[in-house]
Amino acid sequence: MLSKNEAKYIQSLFHKKQRQESGLFIAEGVKLVDELINSRFLIRKIYATEEWNRPVSENYELVRVSAGELQKISLLQKANQVLAIVEAPGPEPLQIPENKWMIALDCIQDPGNMGTIIRIADWFGIDTIVASEDSVDAFNPKVVQGTMGSITRVNMHYMPIAGFLQTAKVPVYGALLKGQSVYDIQDAKPGILLIGNESKGIHDQLMPLIDNPVSIPRIGEAESLNAAVATGILLSHLVRKE
Say yes or no: 107 and 206 in one domain: yes
Say yes or no: 82 and 106 in one domain: no
- What pLDDT, on a 0 to 100 scale, did the predictor assign at position 242? 58
For residues 174-196, give the mean pLDDT: 94
* Domain membership flag for residue 226: yes
User: For 135-181, what is each residue's pLDDT tens digit?
Assistant: 999 999 999 999 999 999 999 999 999 999 999 999 999 999 899 99
CATH number of the domain residue 171 falls in: 3.40.1280.10
CATH number of the domain residue 30 falls in: 3.30.1330.30
Asked whether 100 and 190 are in contact (CB, 8 A), the reply is: yes
Domain count, the chain: 2
Say yes or no: 44 and 16 in one domain: yes
Residue 45 has pLDDT above 70, yes or no: yes
Beta bridge partners of 131: 105, 158
Asked whether 129 and 164 are in contact (CB, 8 A), the reply is: no
For the entire predicted model, the pTM comes to: 0.93
CA distance 92 to 156: 9
Say yes or no: 129 and 208 in one domain: yes
Say yes or no: 121 and 60 in one domain: no
- What pLDDT, on a 0 to 100 scale, did the predictor assign at position 241? 65
Say yes or no: 54 and 171 in one domain: no
Say yes or no: 111 and 175 in one domain: yes
Say yes or no: 228 and 134 in one domain: yes
Reported as a pLDDT band with limits 50, 70 and 90, residue 52 is: very high
User: For 7-28, what is each residue's pLDDT tens digit?
Assistant: 999 999 999 999 999 999 999 9
CA distance 93 to 90: 9
Reported as a pLDDT band with limits 50, 70 and 90, residue 206 is: very high
- What pLDDT, on a 0 to 100 scale, did the predictor assign at position 54? 87
Reported as a pLDDT band with limits 50, 70 and 90, residue 1 is: confident
Domain boundary among 30, 59, 87: 87
Give, as one character, the DSSP assignment of residue 184.
G
* Domain membership flag for residue 97: no
Which residue range is the domain that position 9 belongs to? Answer: 4-87
